[in-house]
Amino acid sequence: MAYQNKVFLVVVGLMILIGVGSHIYDRKVCDPEWLTIEENLEYIRKANSIKEIELYKAYNYPKANLIDDKVTIVERNDIDCIQEMINNRYEGTWNHPATAWSIRMKLTLDNQKTIDFQISKIDNDKIPNMTHLIFGSKCSVTRCSETLGKFLEKLTV
């Protein structure tokens, strides 16, 4: 067998191993994480399902965060507004330009569960108030809101 044929077989074998490994990773790691996230996101569609919202730093370097310390939101009107904006998220993003700021948001639900995700306000010339909601730790997916970032900026001033 010629050297080129052996190299070709090795490359094809590696590609198959990578594909199988990726599939196993998805089934063992991503699927369980996403099942929990989707259950919680579906649950917060119910009125008054969020008891408390905590905002805290996403990164250790201060200029990348909207806030410097933890902010707890318990005011029902603010929670309802944030809940509506999260529920009205949509799929898809415009490229990944520079992030203006990021935070972590933790929702405490009335069923004693919590959901934690990252929010990043994006400097984007296409949509001025683009905010990415990044769900998942190991297998993240980005959703968007055009109102949540602006609301959080006003709320945390």
Indicate the DSSP class of residue 23: H
Furthest CA-CA distance within the chain: 73
Two structure tokens written together for 27: 């089934």
pLDDT tens, 110-121? 999 999 999 999
Is pLDDT of 4 > 90? no
Q: What residues are paired with 107 via a beta bridge?
A: 53, 115
Percent of the chain with pLDDT strictly greater than 70: 87
Average confidence score pLDDT of the chain: 85
Q: Under CATH, to which class is 38-155 assigned?
A: mainly beta
> Rounded distance, CA 155 to CA 98, Å?
22
**CB contact set of 108 (below 8 Å; sequence gap of 6+):** 50, 51, 52, 53, 54, 114
Q: What is the pLDDT of residues 48-88, one digit of tens each?
A: 999 999 999 988 887 888 988 899 999 999 999 999 999 99
3 pLDDT above the threshold of 90: no
- The helix/strand/coil state of 72 is strand
Among candidates 106, 136, 102, which has minimal Cα distance to 119? 102
129 φ/ψ angles, rounded to the nearest 5 degrees: -115, 35
pTM of the predicted model as reported, rounded to 2 decimal places: 0.77
Beta carbons within 10 angstroms of residue 143's beta carbon: 18
Contacts of 129 (CB under 8 A, 6+ apart): 121, 146, 147, 149, 150
Pick 152 or 20 by higher pLDDT: 152
